[in-house]
């Protein structure tokens, strides 16, 4: 009997040691955080871009001695972007099994919004480098993001279109949290400027033939079409089908300056205008993007999000070093941070957890390339 008791105690002790290695809440030999991103699903390039940025940062942090002598480890989980059940399951695993109290990612708005209740219940902090839905602003004290809210971006593209004398427009969105949030911001901003939305079309995020909906635009007095789905693949398909239906209005997109847009849209996207976040040209950004290419054998499809994810990991490491590893410690640190200088440049977070001081740029598609519009 004693033999079995001793064996059981050994197993429990060993289990505790192994658990302690990967348990942020009480870890003794490592600092462990989680990552949630779209590693499969509608746009795996998006999640891979952010995972790569985090991984590069972790390599550098550990090469410099880790956090207070402890190695930084990340547990990566697939949130599948618009598949909210997968995002919730992945977050539950990170929080309840892996016992992390900090998660990087939730890069898609659907992912981030679907797990907010878990973050609140478990007092877990999320720092997202991609979720842009305005609904996230101030939704939880535990949510931060160094990707811009579409409340800001929607205002910017509406103002740009109006300044170019587009007064009557159509918008084509899909039924995702990202797309709906951007749509709402754009509609409000464009109307406030005096513009008029002739058609407001909503399509399935899993569709591939949108012509039944797009035909509603034919024959209407429309100056421009804002194509606003969740992913570049859908944006390119919609643009191509708009042209196939014989419509030649100016096209606008947000963020979708990727090879997938050109691949699926072909000649239809030439001349289109895209509002985009900047790709910084500082030395740190260049080094990180080069390191990504060396590590993965290809360039990142989403350079901004790779750099934002790199910064996110650095911010968390810095916060733990300076303030402590508890959720409230890191949360207070991020709120009180006046100016963080990272791969994205210099910025801070407002009281709602949103990034501030970010600049935008506009690009035009020319011969399948994305060219900055300089005015």
Fold of the domain spanning 2-148+281-356 = Rossmann fold (3.40.50)
Q: How many CB atoms lie within 10 A of CB 209?
A: 10
Closest to 100 in 3D by CA, of 109, 90, 108, 110: 90
- Sequence ranges of the domains in the chain: 2-148+281-356, 151-276
Q: How many CB atoms lie within 10 A of CB 328?
A: 14
All residues at 6 or more sequence positions from 344 whose CB lies less than 8 Å from its CB, including other chains:
146, 278, 280, 285, 304, 307, 308, 311, 358
The CA R_g of the chain, rounded to the nearest whole Å, is: 22
What pLDDT, on a 0 to 100 scale, did the predictor assign at position 278? 80
Do 2-148+281-356 and 151-276 fold alike per CATH? Answer: yes
Whole-prediction pTM = 0.85
* Range 151-276 has CATH code 3.40.50.2300: yes
All residues at 6 or more sequence positions from 364 whose CB lies less than 8 Å from its CB, including other chains:
271, 272, 273, 274, 370, 371, 373
What pLDDT, on a 0 to 100 scale, did the predictor assign at position 28? 65
Q: Are strands 143-145 and 125-128 parallel, antiparallel or unpaired?
A: parallel
* Rounded-to-integer distance, Cα 297 and Cα 327, Å: 36
What pLDDT, on a 0 to 100 scale, did the predictor assign at position 281? 83
Per residue of the chain (375 residues), what is the pLDDT tens digit?
A: 333 333 443 433 334 433 333 444 544 689 999 999 999 988 999 999 999 999 999 999 999 999 999 999 999 999 999 889 999 999 999 999 999 999 999 999 999 999 999 999 999 999 999 999 999 999 999 999 999 999 999 999 999 999 999 999 999 999 998 999 999 999 999 999 999 999 999 999 988 999 999 999 999 999 999 999 999 999 999 999 999 999 999 999 999 999 999 999 999 999 999 999 887 888 999 999 999 999 999 999 999 999 999 999 999 999 999 999 999 999 999 999 999 999 999 999 999 999 987 788 999 999 999 999 987
């Amino acid at each position: 009997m004693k033999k079995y008791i001793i064996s059981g105690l050994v197993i429990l002790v060993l289990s505790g040691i192994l658990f302690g290695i990967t348990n942020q809440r009480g870890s003794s030999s490592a600092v462990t955080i989680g990552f949630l991103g779209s590693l499969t699903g509608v746009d795996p390039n998006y999640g891979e871009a952010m995972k790569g940025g985090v991984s590069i940062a972790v390599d550098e942090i550990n090469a410099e001695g880790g956090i207070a002598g402890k190695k930084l480890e990340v547990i990566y989980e697939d949130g599948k972007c618009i598949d909210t059940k997968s995002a919730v399951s992945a977050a539950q695993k990170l929080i309840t099994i892996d016992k992390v109290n900090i998660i990087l990612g939730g890069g898609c708005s659907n992912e981030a919004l679907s797990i907010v209740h878990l973050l609140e219940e478990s007092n877990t902090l999320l720092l997202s480098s991609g979720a842009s839905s305005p609904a996230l602003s101030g939704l939880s004290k535990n949510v931060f993001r160094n990707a811009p809210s579409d409340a800001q971006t929607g205002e910017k593209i509406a103002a740009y279109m109006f300044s170019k004398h587009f007064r009557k427009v159509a918008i084509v969105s899909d039924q995702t949290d990202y797309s709906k949030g951007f749509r709402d911001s754009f509609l409000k901003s464009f109307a406030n400027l005096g513009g008029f939305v002739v058609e407001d079309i909503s399509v399935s995020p899993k569709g591939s033939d949108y012509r039944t909906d797009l035909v509603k635009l034919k024959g209407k007095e429309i100056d421009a079409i804002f194509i606003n789905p969740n992913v570049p693949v859908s944006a390119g398909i919609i643009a191509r089908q708009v042209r196939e239906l014989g419509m030649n209005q100016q096209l606008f997109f947000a963020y979708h300056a990727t090879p997938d847009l050109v691949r699926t849209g072909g000649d239809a996207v030439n001349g289109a205008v895209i509002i985009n976040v900047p790709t910084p040209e500082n030395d740190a950004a260049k080094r990180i993007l080069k390191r990504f290419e060396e590590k993965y054998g290809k360039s990142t499809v989403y350079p901004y999000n790779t750099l934002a994810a790199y910064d996110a990991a650095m911010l968390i490491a810095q916060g733990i070093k300076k303030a402590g590893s508890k959720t409230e410690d890191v949360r207070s640190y991020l709120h009180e941070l006046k100016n963080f200088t990272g791969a994205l440049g210099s910025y801070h977070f407002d009281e709602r957890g949103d990034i501030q001081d970010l600049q935008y740029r506009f690009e035009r598609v020319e011969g399948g390339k994305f060219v900055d519009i300089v005015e």
